[in-house]
Amino acid sequence: MLNRRKFIERSAAAGMLSLLPSVLKSNTLSGKVPVKKQLPVIISTWKHGIPANAEAMKTLQSGGKVLDAVEKGVMVVEADPENHSVGIGGLPDRDGHVTLDASIMAPDGNAGSVCFLENIVHPVSVARLVMEKTPHVILAGEGALQFAVESGFKEQNLLTPGAEKAWKEWLEKSHYDPVTNWENEPNKYHDTIGLLAVNENGELAGACTTSGLAFKLHGRVGDSPIIGAGLFVDNEVGGATATGMGELVMKTLGSFLVVELMRNGRTPQQACEEAVMRIVKKDPENKRRQVGYIAVSKNGETGAFSLQPGFNYALHQGGENILIDSKSHY
Ligand code: GLY
């Protein structure tokens, strides 16, 4: 949970910031982000990242591999029926189907994902099996479900009474316009959990899982299962993952862009900012949509940046697991 002392310290720091000249308060000023490089480190999107980080860190501390840590971390959120953006309890598409997207990447550069998958609580674990047991990277829809069932996963109805009620309320107007920062409304989260981990040996892995945009068109797939868009990990450099409106992330291949910028010398913070600015420059939708990136370098330095205010992320490092408000462009 949110560390109260840290929260108070941050609030005090924010208060002092308001006294600074406006040039120093620029949202795109990256020099003010504290640089910590302690390993191991776990970083993940939104406040549902706090319990996910805790589980991932527990896995590392009990001798688990970094790949096990990222999978087990996001599984906590997939299994939570009160979370309406990931796994069971996810809000359905406009036809009432809960369809899930997930991806995972290992330190050796291997990757697996599933998209448009129904009736399976843990799509991230199916993605891991796609990576480990098949010559493919992505399985979709019916084929992904068939593979999951043949691999021993049990089918389950993912549409909870709460999600069904929200869908029926939406059907009354059937007006589709994704809302920015639903994520921070209790029980109304859209969006992805993306989680990155670096263990104490500097090995990196990442995972990303979501039910995608609520009330989307049936068949829509977001950025989360697209390797390089919603997630990218390169064990030589670092990792990045995205949240928010997947269409904007896919059109700029955002997570790959962040990692490549880090490869070329940017800090994780600078790389996240530059990837967001690419969207600002290229996509007229950027003014009314949210996209957030988090990133970590191989040595444990982290960064985050979003289009709109309101994005937050969970950082577990140096014995603390805290929620941090991201800087934003707007
Ligand atoms: N970022 C998740 C999605 O757009 O589906």
**Which is more confidently placed, 283 or 272?**
272
Checking if the pLDDT of 184 tops 90, the result is: no
Q: What is the pLDDT of residues 280-308, one digit of tens each?
A: 999 888 888 899 999 999 999 999 999 99
Mean pLDDT of the chain: 88
Tell me if 90 CB under 6 Å of ligand 1. no
Tell me if 85 CB under 6 Å of ligand 1. no
Q: Report yes or no: 243 and 291 within 8 Å, Cβ to Cβ.
A: yes
User: Cα of 224 to ligand 1 centre, how many Å?
Assistant: 6
In a domain, 259, yes or no: yes
Domain that holds residue 191: 41-325
| Per-range mean pLDDT, top range of 26-35, 135-144, 190-199 | 135-144
- pLDDT value at position 174? 83
Q: What is the pLDDT of residues 48-99, one digit of tens each?
A: 999 999 999 999 999 999 999 999 999 999 999 999 899 999 999 999 999 9
**Which is more confidently placed, 308 or 174?**
308
In a domain, 248, yes or no: yes
DSSP letter at 227 equals B
What CATH number corresponds to the domain at position 135?
3.60.20.30
In a domain, 5, yes or no: no
Tell me if 222 CB under 6 Å of ligand 1. yes
In a domain, 231, yes or no: yes
In a domain, 158, yes or no: yes
Q: Sorting pLDDT into bands at 50, 70 and 90, what band is 17?
A: very low
Examine the residue annotation and report whether 243 is marked as an active-site residue of this protein: no
SS3 63: coil
**CA quadruple 232, 252, 326, 176: dihedral, nearest 10:** -110
In a domain, 10, yes or no: no
In a domain, 25, yes or no: no
Cα–Cα distance, 261 to 256 (Å, whole number): 9
- pLDDT value at position 37? 76
Domain count across the chain: 1
- Mean pLDDT, rounded, for 232-252: 97
Counting from 1 in the atom list of ligand 1, the atom nearest the Cα of 222 is 5
Q: What is the value of pTM for the model shown?
A: 0.88
Checking if the pLDDT of 254 tops 70, the result is: yes
In a domain, 26, yes or no: no
Q: What is the pLDDT of residues 186-202, one digit of tens each?
A: 444 458 999 999 999 99
Q: Sorting pLDDT into bands at 50, 70 and 90, what band is 1?
A: very low
Q: Which of 316, 175, 310 is nearest to 243 (CA)?
A: 310
- pLDDT value at position 38? 92
